[in-house]
Structure 1
Amino acid sequence: MTNLTEYQKNALEFENHIALTANAGSGKTFVLAKRFVKIAVETDSPVNSIVAITFTDKAASELYVKISREINSLLSDEENPVRRKKILQIRAELINAKISTIHSFCSDILREFPSEAGIDSSFIIIDEQQRDELVEMVIDEFINVNLQNGNEKIKKLIRIFGSVILTKKIFENVISNSTTINELKDNFYNKTPQEIEEYYEKLKMKLFNEYFLKRLPEFKSEFLFLNELVEDKGKAGEKKIFVNEQLQKLNSDDSVRNVLDVLHSFLEIVFTKSFTLLKRGYLNSEISDNYSSKINFIGDFVKEYLAVFGTNDLTNLHLIAFSKDAIELFSELVEKYEEKKYRLSYLDFEDLMSKTVKIIKEEKILDALKVKYKYIMIDEYQDTNEIQYEIFMPILDELKHGNLFIVGDEKQSIYRFRNAELEVFNKTKNEIKQKSSQNILELPHSFRLSPKLAFFTNSIFEKLFENPTEYFNEVANSNLVSTRNDLETGGVEFLIANGEITEPQLIANKIMLLVKGGKISFNDIAILSKRKLPFFELEKEFIKCNIPYVTIGGRGFYQRQLIFDINNYLMFLINPLNDLALIGILRSPFFYLSDREIFLISLEEGESFYKKLENYSSKSQVIEKICSVLKNNINRTNEYSPTNLIIKLMLESGYYSVIMSRINADQELANFEKLLSITRSFMKSGFKSLFDLSEYLKTASSEIEDEGQAAVRTESNAVKLLTIHKAKGLEFKVVFLIDTNSQPIMNSVAAKDLIIDKEYGLLTKLPSDNLFEEYKNFEINKVYNFRNKKKEIAELKRLLYVGITRAIDYLFISVTLKEGKITGNSFFDFISKTLNFNAEMKTLSLSGKLDLLIDSDGAFINKSVDMNLEIPVNCHPIDDVSLNINKSSFEFPVKSLNVNIDSKISDEIISATKIAVFSQCPRKYNLLYNLGLGEIIKKTKNIHFDDEFSVDVENKIQANIAGSIIHNFLQQEPTKENLDAVLSNSIRNHINTLSEINLENLHKELKQQLEKYFKSDIYSRLSSYRNYFNEYQIYLKENDYFLFGIMDKIILEEKLIIVDYKTDVINEKNIQKKIEHYYNQLMFYAFISSKYFDFHKKAEINLVFIKSPELSYSREIDQTEILSFGGKIYKIIQEIRNENFAPDLNHCQSCVFCVDKNCIADKEI
């Protein structure tokens, strides 16, 4: 996309506030990037005064890249020296731009004003796992202390919610909604019960007026119409007269009570118990058949009305009394959680926003932020919430100053379960509209969908989004305008599973047909579902059909066999008497013993299975080898960190090879990486042991079912399985929308549960005074349930819209119809009603108009075309479809695991370390990355490995940990003033591996080293620069591989400056060798950085030795040297792929694989 439509050009204007509604595939990120750069170039505002807020970190990263490219594009075209200088300055300042998520934006503000926020300046943002552990700890302490003190309120609460376990779940919900709890306590339950009851009455009347009263005239009219058709004679005639008299009592300004009385009068006269009009004695069969839609409307109205305004078990005052007591207890719990976080200097994500809202109420801070931030752009505004509104509106002085640009699409608001509030989008849009209606813009076009898909989408949603009620978060439709002129491309098809064949079978069959056709590859295809459950059966079918796939964020991470197997191994090492764990790993890919072999072992003598295994080892060399491996691992478990232990277990066995041979190898590998990441995070969160980790994994496998599988690279040639929520913002050539007839889950007020709502308060069902009686409902619960159900149905419709609009060319909608039954409020229910679908159809035909916006030589032309869409309805698969898929014929890229495993295929990741190792000695590279370090450790036990490549970390723990702490410390941008505090936090992050180290001495030693560095010339020079990144990762696509590097510090000024920190012990004698050792790594960083940032000037490489900063190395290099090294990288990769691993004998004397002056590769391994 290069040319701008008129709609996009209008959106670039920045003199006024703008609310932009952007249809699916309209190029809104493209507009955001253009607008950001336009403001930077055409105003005098510094880059860091332009704020761009995105929904996710990934979106922020993508926007940053697009802005960078836009700046580079301007630079390459600009000849005016003044403007060129300014663009260069913008590019240099971009590194400090506020392009981030709302949480990152708030974090920056809090770090700028920590004392005003009442927090530690070196606060730690905790992740979800750390937060969950802290919450569990606080809740346990809170319940135990209160029970020990005889607190009657908590005893009553436990009795009402049924158990301590259920009460804990309620408390978890309370802490997750701590901001709402505090607001309710201060502004809701501070009122008298009578005042709250009056407020509840207003909510009830609001529902009555917004929904029932507006529909009452239609109800009356339709009922009168049907009543006129009823015979005048007999009982039917009597009922006809009665109905007419009662309907005349209904008025357009009616009361709740009067409508209720009229409807009650109808119940036993003309309605069945299921709220349908009687056939016998009132309507006849002919009327019922011919006017079914009118009859359904009337029945639904009566059913809904009585559900809300019918008889109530208890008055709202009973609920209010409970809630006023409960809110006090909940507030105490929230306070305990806040105290615990404060003592640990922790903030969770909710804190970041709530504390920001609090401090910007201070005039001094607000004034500073008003001056600092002139332009604010917010993406995906339909999924924002009230608290974000309360942050940005004051900064913009309620739109009196500055410039606000919000972009979103009401039709794609699908995050209500994360407290997204569509009302905020509408409110902000109305406030901008009050400034000028010309500030409300739209991007109606779609560059994504083919004309056929755009027409299909419009056909559904112009009916599904018809007559929206804002009170229920319903949205209006805006038809897609296609920018594509390929009218015959793509199509839509229904796949109907009717019981004889399953949905997974239909889907797998269709995929094989598509791929066999030659125009579609596996990685063109995405399977979308509103829930994760259907993926399990689909995965089994794909494995059966040999279809490569990856599950993106699919449920059941902790239930994967890989996780079970690894944890079984850990449990066995902790306790060798654990027979189940041992049998599990023997049967797993760790050792692959057959059931027959395990049975034979079980016949041996021995009190435990491990003892039986040892006794059997004399009969089998294989078992003898297994016993040797197990014994060695038992004896050496404590020598490894849990992460390195897991790596070792995978590398020394055949397990890694097994997962890489599977059809879903990418997914398995990503899951393994995720487990390593979880392990590292878990071990950093306190005094944790291997036993604690194993127990955590064991608990998670039984209790945490919704943990998503690891993300995988989307470039792999495999079908993607993901939820619609995960697919938001993505697009695929072929989309399968599956499981479309499943029953949607509607949340409602229930017994032994609690709804926390900022508008309705605390809602639950309660027993009367006798706790053993049935739980009763309240009128306000019914009001909430009705409105909430309508909101959830509206969001389901929007979720369907998001799912359908992910497709570029082809859309397949699969559904399971048992006996032709369509589930109410399912996706297929929405589709079938709008398209008048029935299960007997072979083809569904649609016709109508579609607007196009076609690019003609740089100018966009509007035109309208006639569309005729034939949609096949496929109920049976084509027999005998086989692709004979050979996995090796497709790309399965392997990520770098940092565990010395490599791949020789395209799209591999080449790190600085790999290039450095190959430069030292090609044979050393082969030993490390191709033969596998774990195997070498096992077979050459006398080898002493250096720090850089060691998996065996014996005698190195303290040095390695010290290095990690220093790197973590420097990453946090400390100053001389806060050195102690930041260093303490860095040490605390590594506390789990320091149980035997004198922490006080370690702190003192590291502080001395860092103070020495802070006093050095190299620190003074490097810290004087302002445009920099710490711990910056770069993935650079070169040819058919990726170059990857993590730089400790990268500075973008007039020249590119690379900084690499080292904690080696050095002196005048070994300094030159150290520089030579690290030189290739620094040159690698210089090459990928200059390419990534499109920097064509000189660069500078810096090797900073923290312990001896006076010996640090700096060297300026020009582009010729950088490009020359790029050529060296290319040659090395070719050598690796050609398997040219000739030894470099000059490296032998310092090589870890040189034993007794001989390379181990020359020995028999």
Structure 2
Amino acid sequence: MLCNQVQETILQAISKAYENGPTQFMVGDVKQSIYKFRLANPNIFIRKYNAWTKATNFDIKEKNVCVDLSQNFRSRENIVNAINDIFTQVMSPKLGGITYDEDAKLKVGNLYNHVEIDQNLISDKVEMHLIQTNFVEQEAQEANEISEYISSHLEAEMVATIISEILKGEGNPKKIFDTDLKDYREVQPRDIVILLRAKTSAAYFEEALVKRDIEAYADTDTSFLEANEIKFMINLLQIIDNPLQDIPLLAILRSPIVGASLDDLVYIKNVAPKKHFYICLQKYLHENSYSEEGSIVSLRRFYNLLCSFRTLNTTITLEDLISRLYTESGYYRYVGMLKDGKKRQANLRLLKIHATKYEERVETGLFNFLQYIKKVDKVGDKFEQAKVSLGENVVRILTIHKSKGLEFPIVFISETQKIFNTRDLYSNILLHSELGIGVKYLEDNFRYETLPFSAIKQAIKHENLSEEMRILYVALTRAREKLFITGSVSSYVSLLQKWFKYGNRNEEKILQIGLKTNSTELNWIGNSIVSLKNVKNIVYNDNANFVFNGNSTWRIKVWNENEVQLKQSEEKLNNNLKELLNQDYTIDYSGNKDKIYDRLGFLYKYNDVINLLTATNVSRLKEIKQGHMNFEQIKPEPKFMKKNININGAAKGTLIHEVFERVDYLKCQSRGELQNEINKLINSNKLSPEVKSIINYSHLEAFAQSAIITRMRNATVSFKEKSFVYLLDAQTIDQKYNDEKVVLSGAIDACFIEDESIVLIDYKTDYINKQILEKEIDRIKNIYQFQLDLYGKALSDILDLPIKEKFIYLYSINKWVKME
């Protein structure tokens, strides 16, 4: 009897009848057991694998013998090595199911060197591409959704750019080995696949590829309601019914009909970060009422269209509303010009038919129709959507589960930064096949976790993480010739710090706590990479981030938003260059005389605030407030013009402030620790060597061990060198300014949250005359009270917490001063 996939519970139950009968050959790979949701139980395999005798040669009469078939006849050597690099570090009996030892490791079985070819034309490395989004994070759920939406789009654009370069022969690889031809050939779209953990973002990747004239097929079980043109119209109808829906509004703004860039969305959101995006859009357009910039004109045109249709919605039928939307928005004509345009237009006509039938048979009104669409979508869409054949020459976008059992020459594993889904842990009742049932205890309308519930919750969490690790293994082993790993991050430096926190080059395995708390595919891979023996150094820049010793299998690149958008702009410029050159730019100036006189004679209504700075810092605001603002900027004297390069008082202050900024005084407390930390920073060129000659280690040690820093060390949340931008009422400077605003920028030296209040800290290096200490402290308070008041107000508004205390640390005399 042959029993395939021995970890499957059902097959195991069937095969029990043959346990004492004919010989069984059971085939399975616990590393690829990824169907827990179908009740697949990898423990069946693991128990047999651990109990049975391992052998390479055996007699068929022997019983309970385990044979490891570890040769990989699919992937190139660099891919096999990369997979082994990762799973040697992360997979263990505790997480993943088995020890990834020499028996479990993949061995290269597919040799590509039987056909000669220039090695520069074929795959040489496994590549990781990360895009740094630089999106201003907000605590509000709407802002997080917007951030995730923008990140997914940026990553999709990055991946599409890489694929475009490969298909043009500009990327790597330029050629792949065709198993049918038994020879190398150029890369075609059908050779490429993008693998995602879930299908929610597949449409973004498909859209990014189609924009570059690359045929793409997203295997998302796309139904009628999930077709791009139908989703667009549903989104548009949703915001006509209620514009305070951020995700539908963002989708429309990013569509070709409006054409807002990602930068535009960020600018709009930052107008009022805590408000709905529609409110932000209204304020943004109001602030730019007279702007004729292209993007603002497009946004204004869309806003006017939206307002007119919101009014029409109350006066005409749903059928007429949709018909007018098709014509007046131009969307019906637009989709007709796309690939599969006739099919797309047919879908739009079908949507109007469904709306008409609904209004005739059930209820009238846009709101009721949208509720009906939601219900249909929730229970499973009954409207079928045509699919593209998998045999077509297209780039395919699949879920990892759908890719199991398949192989592809070039594989992109994308959105690896996404946190694993843990929704099944938040039920009030948990079930486990071995531990039984766990129920929360209910008392006074509150539910509490019981001991059995907590035990089952931890077991399920552990099993889910093991499943995610096996899913990652399946994804990585789909690639034959080239493997790309992609993701998006808000801060690459912070990501590296996480990786090095748990990655350990002196141990064979990464700490389990790191794998469980850093639970994303990207972090698991990153922890493994920084743990490799041949990682030499880390360089913080946008391109060559890792330096490897020897012949590494890895290449890593970090992209930024501008780089992706620049490549998009270049493509648009190339496509539209002829059209721009052939346009008639002749301007008719007749009839403009009166307009010119009107503009020349225009008297600005708010002339009294012309000299008010719109963006400034605390020092300049203070000078304005005191009435002696000097607008002349004195440029510093270049080094080569200075006769004596001595460190003056101001330069010393700057250097000392850099010490406080760079040194981790929450971690380093003793004089020895502080000296070692400063030496490391000097050696890594993060501090100037002159620091050694001016720093007072006694004062620095006393500062690090002071009661206030101890409080900061014990606080749940603390910040150092936190930059901020804050919209300040101009009345703070002068009461004559009524409703004007000034953008205040600054950097807070340190602060921490204690008892749900903020404690603010500022370092000062001013000279203090100890002979008149009390007067000097009063002088310091007078100088800096205004600054700390503004910083406190800004910080309190930003964090939505009250200010508890404000302190200044006087470095020159090692003294803390409490401010009002």
With normalisation by structure 2, the TM-score equals 0.42
Which of the two has higher C-alpha Rg?
1
Greater fraction helix: 1
With normalisation by structure 1, the TM-score equals 0.31
